[in-house]
Amino acid sequence: MPDDGNAAYGHISFTRSASHFTDRITADGRDGWPVEAGRYRLVVSRACPWASRAVISRRLLGLADALSMAVADPLQDDRSWRFTLDPDGRDPVLGIRFLAEAYEAREKGAPGGVSVPAVVDVPSGKLVTNDYQRLTLDLATEWRALHREGAPDLYPRELREEIDTVMAEVYADVNNGVYKAGFAVDQEEYEAACAGVFRRLEVLSRRLAGQRYLVGDTITEADVRLFTTLVRFDAVYHGHFKCNRWKLTENPVLWAYARDLYQTPGFGDTVDFDHIKRHYHRVHTGINPTGIVPLGPDLSGWRSPHDRERLGGRPFGTGTAPGPVPAAEEVPALTA
């Protein structure tokens, strides 16, 4: 099963299913779900790139006190995402063992599988949304009243058209492209997807050679979405998904860009390489039937100087960096 449950594969080309639950949590509550501090719980896996978008956005925007977070075990069983990292194997807020229970509370037998990120209504225990494409945009716009002081504008109105264009290209060729390559069932399908990944990465490399961030001079949603694929590239996509024309560390521009973001508060301090590597290599048994998790790659370079400051830019615009990671949400220290 792919790491977010939003995909299907087998004897046909890889396809990613649309999110079934697309309700939105908004400032005016027009879908019946108003923004309200403490009412909702964000369920994620640190292994999943789609969920990692929400983890990063939540941290950058300072929503930890307003939107609590549950972290699922990176290893799934036949009921998908489970809370075996918590005492007694239950989420301490929702009181459930499997995320599937929140899905069932919302709609029994709902299609599309059990995916993360997911937002659950704590009082009712029902799933609200698993719309990974819309969720982070709403955190950036609809949740403004609960943002921390100094929070960055991750989706500035005047740049949205350009941001949307860049994100669409990155999604098609990179975010989803690595999956198309990894789960390809014939040589032609694989080669087309793999070529598309690297063709887009080369375009992005040229774009980022002269500017620090993808759109404008500050971090935006576009950077968040590219980062979650780049940070997994050498650890899993290069070998496990056969996207191996070159490694991220072999592209000077993208490697420096990725390190710049990794070293920015809100990015690297949410990344758990152990969860990432164990999930992909042990859950995707069709690709890696032995379940062996590789020892490499060397991760020490993520903390090396990147020299991207010379391009200017202000990571948080006129705002400030987020504060320290809450103790309960700290990830293991980076090791080689």
Say how many Å lie between the first and final Cα of the chain, rounded. Answer: 29
Candidates 9, 40, 48, 237; catalytic one: 48
What are the distances in angstroms from CA 59 to CA 44, 63, 67, 322? 13, 6, 10, 7
* Spatial distance between the Cα atoms of 35 and 146, rounded to a whole number of angstroms: 9
How many alpha carbons lie under 13 Å from residue 242 in its C-beta half-sphere?
17
Q: Is 179 a catalytic residue?
A: yes
Contact 272, 257 (CB under 8 A): no
Contact 181, 197 (CB under 8 A): yes
Q: Is 194 a catalytic residue?
A: no
Candidates 40, 132, 155, 179; catalytic one: 179
Q: What is the dihedral of CA 58, 63, 66, 72, to 10 degrees?
A: 30
Alpha helices (H) in 91-237, listed in sequence order: 100-106, 132-141, 160-170, 177-182, 187-208, 221-232
Q: Which residues are catalytic?
A: 48, 179
